[in-house]
Amino acid sequence: MEIRPRNRREPLGSQPDVDFPPVQNGIDYLLSVTDHLTHGDPPEPRDLKYAILHLQAAVEVLLKARLQREHWSQVFKNPGAATRVRFESGDFESCTTDAALDRLAGIAGVTIADKAVKTLGVLTKSRNALQHYGLTTSAPAVEARAAEVLTFLMEFFTTELQPDLSIDEDKLVQRDLADIRARLGTITSYLKQRHNEIRAELALVADSVVECPVCAQFAVQVGFPDPQCSFCHMGWVHSYGLLFDYLRAFDRPGQLTEECPDCGHEEMLRQTRVAAAPASPRTLCFGCATSLGPQTATCTNCAALYEPGEDDPGMCPRCLAQRFEKL
């Protein structure tokens, strides 16, 4: 933030001008986020509320600051209707965060990892829920999500915005950046400590531990009637509730669940990442934790799921056994 001193020719009692260029504005929002997240131990609900709101504001400002450097018309919702007069007066509707990400990739050639895009999407949903409907979630979940977004934005600033700052602009943001990095370190240390506390507990069951729909940490063990996240303590009344939130949180609302061959419940989900091998998704039952490999097949006789071998006959072991009995 830059507050320009009053000109001697201005009348006494006049207020100083408040000047918030886009990059400085975004960095100031980030400073506010770290202030709120480190204000108490743990942070108060009000601090978490403003951390979410200001973090989303920082995302929008910094992404659009980079987009603006490509061309000022790109920050308009409809670039074809952009005019310089409306841009300079701020009298226009700007593009959404999703549109900004698409334009950065397609027009500016800025590569943003899929994980970061998903994390930013979850943040947007949380901000919208908080601003329009109210939001109930766990404090550790907010801190975990915020740390991910903060880390992304710091890297984004360093690679995409800082190189084009003037010497004076860079000096203005450096002090705030130092504070942000120090406080982000405090938040990250807390997260590492929490992970260390639950690591031993979950290591023995890593094959049935999935990502939490709330905090996105690998910390929810499936196979229980009322599952709970070991990291953020979010709980579900039934495994169906966890499965519903999981599909919604990870942008898979249209994906169908299938009947589990062991428990018979329709809670089997393909392409599910587990803590033991995140890079090799498998078919997992959220009800009883039955797990099938990534090459899950459907029995041509009874439509049950099964894990095929090298010489797959196209049938599950049960149907195959029944056929041999009849021979």
Query: What value does the mean pLDDT take over residues 267-296?
Result: 88
- Under 8 Å between Cβ of 121 and 98: yes
C-alpha 279/C-alpha 111 separation (Å) is 21
Mean pLDDT of the chain: 83
Supply the pLDDT for residue 17: 47
Band (pLDDT 50/70/90 cuts) for residue 40 is confident
Band (pLDDT 50/70/90 cuts) for residue 198 is confident
For residue 218, the surrounding DSSP H or E stretch is strand 218-221
Decide if pLDDT at 2 tops 50: no
Band (pLDDT 50/70/90 cuts) for residue 56 is very high
Residue 223 is classified by DSSP as S
Supply the pLDDT for residue 136: 65
Higher pLDDT, 136 or 123: 123
Supply the pLDDT for residue 271: 86
Supply the pLDDT for residue 195: 81
Band (pLDDT 50/70/90 cuts) for residue 71 is very high
pLDDT tens sequence across 143-158: 888 888 888 898 899 8
Higher pLDDT, 242 or 178: 242
Band (pLDDT 50/70/90 cuts) for residue 232 is confident
How much of the chain exceeds pLDDT 70, in percent?
89
Supply the pLDDT for residue 132: 66
| Angle of helix 97-106 versus helix 45-70 axis, rounded to 10 | 40
Query: What value does the mean pLDDT take over residues 104-111?
Result: 93
For residue 32, the surrounding DSSP H or E stretch is helix 22-37
| Angle of helix 45-70 versus helix 22-37 axis, rounded to 10 | 160
| Of 53, 96, 55, 59, the residue nearest 76 (C-alpha) | 96
Supply the pLDDT for residue 135: 64
Supply the pLDDT for residue 22: 86
Ranges of each domain in the chain: 15-199, 206-294
Supply the pLDDT for residue 78: 94
Supply the pLDDT for residue 322: 76
Query: What value does the mean pLDDT take over residues 68-84?
Result: 93
252: number of Cβ within 10 Å? 14
C-alpha 236/C-alpha 243 separation (Å) is 10
How much of the chain exceeds pLDDT 90, in percent?
33
What is the distance between the terminal CA atoms of the chain, rounded to a whole angstrom? 83
Decide if pLDDT at 126 tops 70: yes
Higher pLDDT, 181 or 275: 275
Supply the pLDDT for residue 327: 59
Supply the pLDDT for residue 129: 73
